[in-house]
Amino acid sequence: MVGGIKTKYRCAGFWMLAAFLLVVLWPGGSAWCDVQVVPQTVRVGLMQNTPQVSFVLQGAYKVINVNTGQVIAEDGEGQWTVEYAAGLCRVTKDGQDVGLYNGPIKAEGLNASVKAILSGGDILLQKESLAGLTVQGGDVHYIYENQANCYALAEKDRLKQLSWGGLNIVGLEEGGQVKRYRGNLEIRTSENYLTVINELPIEQYLYGVVPAEMPVSFPSEALKAQAVVARSYLHAQLGSYASFGFDVLDNQSNQVYQGYDGENPVASGAVDATSGMVLAYCGQPIAAFFHSSSGGFTENSEDVWFETLNFIRSKEDPYDNNGKHYDWSVTYSTGELVALINQQLKKYIPSSEFIELASITDLKELERTASGQRVKILLIEGIDAGGSPRVYTIANADRVRNVLGLRSALFTMQKQTDPDEGISGVTFNGSGSGHGLGMSQYGAAGWAGQGYSFQDILQYYYTGVELIKY
């Protein structure tokens, strides 16, 4: 079993105090030191290169022009549309033109907390949160607290105006459907289009990530491990798309994020149970890569991608075995293989060097990964349309699996050959799904099924890490 969880900077307390005293007592010093600020929110890129955005707001929102601070609407509830208009944002609400703004346009949740509801000087209700408040009727005065500022609002018509349940939700129209998200929505211009960003607390973001990345039917300790891994990966990726105005994308380029509609109470419980916990190496959160199934072995980072990461090392994965991703088989005819490889090679070979293959004469495995299980380097031999021989070398393992359109690079080949034309077909037999780095999700479920804790699981898959809490 793994020991206790370290709190960030707890162990450095003595040295922080010493540094503080040195700064204060040293002549010319000042009582200030550089303290790392841990981000509490994340900005998720939901849509890019879209000419128009439509959304509805449920809860306590105001709509503002971020650039100027101008409040466009104190009460944001209703149907909103933002359209790109020659570098500006054209805003309409409920079909009525609101105006042109240089943006960004932001729907900002007020995070109201009711302190007291009064009528005729008498307190009708004292409540710290609006959650679950559904009382109706009566002319009232009420007082609520918005962040650090207190506001008193008098002569509101009906108490039902407070009956929104405590959640701020944005309903964003995407592909003819409305997808709901917690937190704020920001829309900014980018070249000739709009970019849509969801800004929300990191823990609430994880509510929409964990069930999208791991089946909620998996054991609770596996789900907790996934929550820590997702949180660690996020912290390592924050700011990756800063030039676009957001931190991460909502898809597999980072992590799949499905927003409020994708949440599940079981997965949310795993997030809450591990709140603030991240994996760190040399004091920094790690990019805690994960994949579906290892096929029995994980790999060194440099064998699958290119960079050597000391916390991503090859491990035997004894509890990964499962009926979904083991012993798969894929067969391609020569025509299918040529079409697939030509399509995929364009992603990795510079256009100035790439000439399409008319046929493939051979596939040769040149090197395997450190575990000996995955194909690390593949040689593709073929002939182009002009009859000239062409040879392409593919490395590393993740590129090999992608070029061949396989679930995993853990495979063997059975080639069918034609004496005149070379390969007439290939059958690939393999196991596993994904790149094979870091934590296997099916492996985590297997470890949890054997009674291991989420701490044990994480310490096994990631080498030399510590579990800290921000």
| pLDDT tens string 7-58 | 554 444 433 433 333 333 344 433 333 345 678 899 999 999 999 999 999 8
Please determine, for residue 119, whether its predicted confidence score (pLDDT) is greater than 70.
no
Regarding beta strands 122-125 and 112-119, do their DSSP bridges make them parallel or antiparallel, or are they unpaired? antiparallel
Region of 125 (left: φ > 0; alpha: ψ -120 to 50; beta: rest) is: beta
Residue-number span of the structural domain to which 460 is assigned: 208-291+437-470
One domain for residues 100 and 226: no
One domain for residues 73 and 187: yes
Closest CA to 340 of 420, 267, 390, 401: 401
Is residue 382 situated within a structural domain? yes
CA distances from 34 to 23, 281, 282 (A): 11, 21, 19
Please determine, for residue 136, whether its predicted confidence score (pLDDT) is greater than 70.
no
Please determine, for residue 462, whether its predicted confidence score (pLDDT) is greater than 50.
yes
One domain for residues 45 and 190: yes
Grade residue 417 by pLDDT with cuts at 50, 70 and 90: confident
Please determine, for residue 225, whether its predicted confidence score (pLDDT) is greater than 90.
yes
Per-residue model confidence (pLDDT) at position 446: 98
Is residue 27 situated within a structural domain? no
Per-residue model confidence (pLDDT) at position 59: 84
Per the model's pLDDT, the better-predicted residue between 72 and 132 turns out to be 72
Please determine, for residue 271, whether its predicted confidence score (pLDDT) is greater than 50.
yes
Grade residue 421 by pLDDT with cuts at 50, 70 and 90: low
Task: Return mean pLDDT, the chain.
Answer: 85
Per the model's pLDDT, the better-predicted residue between 226 and 122 turns out to be 226
Asked if 178 contacts 171 with a C-beta cutoff of 8 angstroms, the reply is: yes
Beta strands in 222-281 (DSSP E): 248-249, 277-281
One domain for residues 372 and 281: no
Structural domain count, the chain: 4
CA 355, distance to chain mean position in Å, is: 36
Separation between Cα atoms, residue 305 and residue 141, nearest integer Å: 62
One domain for residues 89 and 141: no
Is residue 32 situated within a structural domain? no
Is residue 334 situated within a structural domain? yes
Per-residue model confidence (pLDDT) at position 78: 86
Residue-wise pLDDT tens digits, 339-373: 999 999 999 999 999 999 999 999 999 999 999 99
One domain for residues 274 and 186: no
Is residue 304 situated within a structural domain? no
One domain for residues 419 and 342: yes
Task: Report the share of the chain in percent with pLDDT over 90.
Answer: 72
Look up the pTM and report it: 0.81
